[in-house]
Amino acid sequence: MIQESSESDAGKRQRFREIRVFLRLTLENSLSTVGLAIIVLFIIIAITAPFIVPYPKQAEGTPEIANQLLPPNWQHLFGTDELGRDLFSRVVFGARISLVTSASVVASAIALGLPLGALAGYYGERIGAIIMRVTDMFLAFPPLLLALAVAATLGGSLINAVLALIITWWPWYTRLAYGQAVTTRNLPYVDSARAIGVGNFRIIVRHILPATLAPILVQATLDLGSAIISVAGLSFLGLGAQPPTPDWGLMVNTGRTYFLQHWWYATFPGLAILILVLGFNLLGDAIREAVDPKLSRRRLI
């Protein structure tokens, strides 16, 4: 009789195999373990922020003028800013902002760029040409400049910064998806599906898109790090988060003016950016190894 379960044990092993390979590779390599640990740590911190932070109100912006610009001490681990707010609490809250904004940027850019690239790659000819030429146009601009221009036009705010980055970044995913789609389109199993009479839409969804996921995933992980820096950068330039938002970039910018006498103000948010982005980069390398068929084949003969 036909099995009731929809997947055999072997099948489950296969599905989780990619995750197992990823975990094994990550944990074997100490650098990527560190990367994974950093990210997990930051995520946990971000989720539990309101509960673990000593001065949640100050993190959101309530000033405490009496304590302005205190150096790091036991009551204020990272010191305080010019309005007396506890820097540690603000940096921790900043993690939420950074993670959420970078995830939004990357997810939206993929949601926009991936289907376009897949369509362009699969259909080719005119549709492909049109999509790719538009993509090329966007890619011709230096990314930061474009983001700046869009953010400046829209006005300075965190949401506008995110929008600006999405508009700047989607073409990179289109390009990636396009390349994969072109390769996959020519594979025998796509031919086989066409010969069976499977419609184009179904082919794109079931055959082309899954094949594009691997390189996109690698790029996305690395991009999360870049997104954090870009949002921070836009905030630093005044085009992103506005006070009193505890955005890291904004804090670095404000802290800059106090730097010489009050080193802690710009340093701790800066360090936070550094460490989190490093985490994403290290993890991105591990994902690339897990997902790259050539690399994994070497190990498996």
Enumerate binding residues for other proteins (CB under 8 A).
1-3, 5-8, 10-11, 14, 21, 24, 187-189, 191-199, 202, 206-207, 210, 296, 298-301
Instruction: Provide, rounded to whole angstroms, the least separation between the CB of residue 206 and other proteins.
Output: 7
Instruction: Provide, rounded to whole angstroms, the least separation between the CB of residue 184 and other proteins.
Output: 10
Cα–Cα distance between 115 and 135 in angstroms, integer?
A: 13
Nearer to other proteins by Cβ, of 27 and 44: the residue is: 27
SS3 236: helix
Nearer to other proteins by Cβ, of 159 and 191: the residue is: 191
Specify whether the CB–CB gap between 113 and 167 falls below 8 A. Answer: no
Instruction: Provide, rounded to whole angstroms, the least separation between the CB of residue 155 and other proteins.
Output: 44
Nearer to other proteins by Cβ, of 24 and 57: the residue is: 24
Instruction: Provide, rounded to whole angstroms, the least separation between the CB of residue 294 and other proteins.
Output: 13
Nearer to other proteins by Cβ, of 142 and 199: the residue is: 199
Instruction: Provide, rounded to whole angstroms, the least separation between the CB of residue 1 and other proteins.
Output: 7
**Token pair listed for 136:** 């090329």
Sorted by sequence, the CB contacts under 8 Å of residue 56 that are 6+ apart come out as: 49, 50, 89, 93
Cα–Cα distance between 251 and 178 in angstroms, integer?
A: 39
Nearer to other proteins by Cβ, of 196 and 260: the residue is: 196
Nearer to other proteins by Cβ, of 8 and 75: the residue is: 8
Q: Phi-psi category of 116—alpha, beta or left, where left has phi over 0 and alpha has psi -120 to 50? A: alpha
Cα–Cα distance between 105 and 101 in angstroms, integer?
A: 6
SS3 211: helix
CB atoms within 10 A of CB 203: 19
User: Peptide bond preceding 244: is omega within 30 degrees of 0, i.e. cis?
Assistant: yes
Instruction: Provide, rounded to whole angstroms, the least separation between the CB of residue 59 and other proteins.
Output: 45
